[in-house]
Amino acid sequence: MPGTTHADTFNGPMPVTPDLTAEQCAKDYEYNTGRVIVDFLEENDQRAVEVPAALVANHGPVAWGPPPASPWSTRSSARPSPTSPCTPSAWA
């Protein structure tokens, strides 16, 4: 069971898709994984907007939406100093 930090972003219960059939797993697994997500979301067209991801049964999480903002663009005061061992230039 995921921690509450995951659940807090789901605006309610975490959605879980139905299981894929044996046939769906045996042939075109990737396509059928996407298909089960689309079918699941079509049951409630607001679900994809309200919830940023779904757990695919017996598979794992799938998320969608815009990419996250760079942490440096929103918290510039938290940027490591140029001499910090956390900066990429210090790793070379």
pLDDT score for 70: 64
Kindly state the tokens that stand for 50.
């309200």
How many distinct structural domains can be found in the chain?
A: 1
User: Could you tell me if residue 87 is inside a domain?
Assistant: no
55 alpha-carbon distance from chain centroid: 9
Within a domain: 5 = yes
What token pair was written down for 84?
A: 């910090």
Report the DSSP beta bridge partners of residue 62: 54
pTM for the full predicted model: 0.58
Residue 91 lies in a domain: no
Amino acid at 9: T
Would 47 be classed as within a structural domain? yes
For residue range 5-54, list pLDDT tens digits in order.
656 666 677 788 999 999 998 999 999 999 999 898 888 878 777 777 88
Please identify which residue in the block is written with the tokens 């794992």. 60
- Any domain includes 31: yes
Looking at the domain assignment, is residue 52 inside a domain? yes
